[in-house]
């Protein structure tokens, strides 16, 4: 057996763990096409750890360079391990002893030399089901990770009105690097379940789908922390989570994003999990798994003490509240007082999309970014115009700047101004004309805008950068931290 095969077996057994069902597939994979994806999807459903052997250049049907063929297979996310196979498939199978070997349906009535190796230890040979899945897994992965940059349009009249240039925005982005930031709020994990629609049930008027891809993302206040870290800030994140696998996943992702996460365990609640079932780029159903009672007094004390211990060392504190019990009013009051005493800038968002909330309880914020509905809930005014609404919220909360985020209509800025004018109001349209997923728009806006202003940007520059971050975020599916490079790329097209 070739050394490469021995190394592959050692790696597979070490990483798959002996309790898992290993599935093995081999082939040339000259050009990855939908047939390959269907076969690999079938293989994934047959076990727990998918291994693909890409046959080397000696195989008579290998057309493309072996390194390129291997690279193509490795790019498929459902493959756990891929390697160049120099031995015959049956010899490798006899050494690895996978639980299942999968081949294409076309081989079912042929002679299969792998069968003898499988019979030697009790393995199983299965053939691809031939099911047609019209969604390409590779394309779905790209939908999650690649922004739809071509749909972003930047209004150039706003910078002229407020006296800043595209080059100045790059400088403001650069000033974010090294800012010391604390983020506090609800930790949420978002699960996106992408489905193929099968049609309408014959028994009752129900849409029937089959799941083909699951992706997890950290959300809530955790993605605010991750955005801040990805933009160059040094971030400490405070939150509450349950004692479960979801919390472990969130901690792992925060570690990957180099966030100093101080997550307090609360045995009385599960970590918040929100599931989104999607098909053809649309969300069909959302399922929230949570409990939203206030954390107990002891956990409140721990949370406040955590902020007290670092308040001398931060430039900005961001409240990212989803009204699930992480930030009771007394906790907000104490932390706000700590920051005000040390002259630490504060920003806040309190989401009330499906429950009652009151963003006005965050007093003395440098920046507040509610939706129109959240602002109306806070001031109990459902009739006033937007400018009057923003001013009412500003007075009630004693905020310096209020930005009403208006979804596809963009945002309205109600900003502190030098005397003799007390406040100036302006608006920006939405920058992304064809968003894929609007779920993370507000989080990216809040993060980038508040960081930029803390770094020296004006409210107008900060709002513009926040809108840019939001445009990049909604151009893909799922919460992935926004980078400085992405925003600079958009600015660069207008310089």
> What is the rounded CA–CA span in Å between residue 180 and residue 95?
53
pLDDT tens sequence across 319-339 = 999 999 999 999 999 999 999
What one-character DSSP code corresponds to residue 257? Answer: T
Query: Predicted confidence band at 136 (pLDDT cuts at 50, 70, 90)?
Result: very low
CATH 3.40.1190.20 fits 139-492, yes or no: yes
133 pLDDT band (50/70/90 cuts)? very low
Question: Token pair for residue 31?
Answer: 């050009």
Position 145 scores a pLDDT of 55
* pLDDT for position 149: 54
83-116 pLDDT, tens digit per residue, is: 999 999 999 999 999 999 999 887 888 899 999 9
pLDDT for the residue numbered 203: 82
Q: Indicate the helix (H) or strand (E) that contains 101.
A: strand 100-103
CA distance 317 to 346: 5
Confidence tier at 60 by pLDDT (50, 70, 90): confident
pLDDT, averaged across the chain: 90
Reduced to 3 states, what is the DSSP secondary structure of residue 416?
Answer: strand
- Using CA atoms, how far residue 486 sits from 239, 254, 257, 448, in Å, is 28, 20, 17, 12
pLDDT tens profile 168-218: 999 999 999 999 999 999 999 999 998 888 888 888 888 898 888 888 999
With pLDDT > 90 as the criterion, what percentage of the chain qualifies? 67
What integer pLDDT is reported at residue 129 of this predicted model? 60
* 418/273: higher pLDDT: 273
Average pLDDT over residues 303-319: 97
What pLDDT score does 19 carry?
60
In degrees rounded to 5, what are phi and psi of residue 99? Answer: -65, -35
User: Which of the four pLDDT bands, split at 50, 70 and 90, describes residue 134?
Assistant: very low
CB atoms near residue 31 (< 10 Å): 11
Domain boundaries, the chain: 3-132, 139-492
State the CB neighbour count (10 A cutoff) for residue 233.
24
pLDDT above 80 (res 247): yes
Domain topology for 3-132: Rossmann fold (3.40.50)
Name the least confident of 258-272, 377-391, 418-432: 418-432
CB 180 within 8 A of CB 234: yes
Say if residue 361's pLDDT is above 80: yes
The pTM for the full model equals: 0.73
- Percentage with pLDDT > 70 across the chain: 93
343 φ/ψ sector (left φ>0, alpha ψ -120 to 50, else beta): left
Q: How confident is the model at residue 404 (pLDDT cuts 50, 70, 90)?
A: very high
């Amino acid at each position: 057996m070739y050394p490469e095969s021995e190394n592959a077996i050692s790696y597979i057994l070490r990483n798959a763990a002996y309790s898992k069902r290993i599935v093995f597939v081999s082939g040339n994979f000259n050009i990855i096409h939908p047939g390959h994806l269907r076969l690999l999807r079938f293989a994934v459903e047959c076990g727990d750890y998918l291994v693909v052997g890409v046959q080397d250049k000696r195989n008579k049907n290998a057309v493309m360079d072996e390194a390129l063929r291997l690279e193509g297979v490795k790019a498929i996310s459902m493959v756990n391990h891929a390697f160049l196979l120099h031995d015959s498939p049956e010899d490798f199978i006899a050494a690895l002893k996978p639980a299942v070997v999968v081949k294409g349906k076309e081989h079912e009535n042929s002679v299969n030399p792998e069968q003898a190796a499988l019979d030697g230890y009790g393995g199983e040979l299965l053939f691809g089901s031939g099911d047609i899945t019209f969604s390409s897994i590779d394309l779905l992965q790209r939908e999650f990770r690649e922004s739809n940059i071509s749909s972003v349009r930047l209004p150039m009249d706003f910078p002229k009105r407020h006296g800043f240039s595209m080059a100045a925005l790059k400088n403001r982005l650069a000033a974010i690097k090294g800012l010391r930031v604390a983020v506090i709020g609800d930790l949420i994990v978002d699960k996106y379940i992408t489905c193929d629609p099968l049609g309408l049930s014959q028994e009752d008027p129900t849409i029937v789908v089959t799941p083909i891809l699951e992706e997890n993302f950290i959300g809530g206040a955790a993605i605010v922390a991750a955005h801040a870290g990805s933009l160059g800030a040094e971030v400490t994140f405070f939150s509450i989570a349950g004692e479960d696998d979801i919390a472990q996943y969130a901690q792992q992702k925060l570690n990957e994003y180099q966030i100093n996460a101080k997550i307090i365990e609360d045995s009385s609640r599960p970590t918040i999990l929100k599931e989104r079932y999607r098909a053809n780029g649309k969300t069909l159903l959302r399922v929230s798994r949570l409990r939203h009672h206030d954390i107990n007094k002891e956990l409140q004390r721990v949370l406040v003490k955590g902020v007290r211990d670092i308040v001398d060392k931060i430039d900005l504190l961001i409240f990212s509240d989803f009204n699930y019990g992480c930030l009771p009013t007394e906790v907000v009051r104490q932390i706000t007082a700590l920051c005000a005493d040390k002259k630490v800038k504060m920003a806040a968002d309190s989401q009330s999309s499906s429950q009652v909330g009151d963003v006005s309880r965050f007093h003395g914020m440098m920046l507040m970014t509610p939706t129109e509905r959240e602002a109306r809930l806070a001031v109990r005014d459902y009739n006033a115009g937007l400018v009057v609404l923003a001013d009412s919220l500003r007075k009630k909360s004693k905020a310096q700047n209020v930005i009403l985020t208006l979804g596809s209509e963009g945002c309205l800025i109600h900003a502190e101004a030098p005397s003799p004018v007390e406040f100036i109001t302006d608006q920006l349209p939405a920058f992304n004309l064809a968003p894929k997923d609007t779920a993370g728009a507000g989080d990216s806006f809040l993060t980038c805008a508040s960081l930029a202003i803390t770094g020296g940007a004006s409210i107008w520059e900060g709002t513009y950068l926040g809108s840019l971050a939001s445009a990049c975020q909604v151009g893909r599916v799922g919460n992935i931290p926004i980078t400085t490079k992405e925003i600079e790329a958009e600015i660069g097209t207008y310089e």
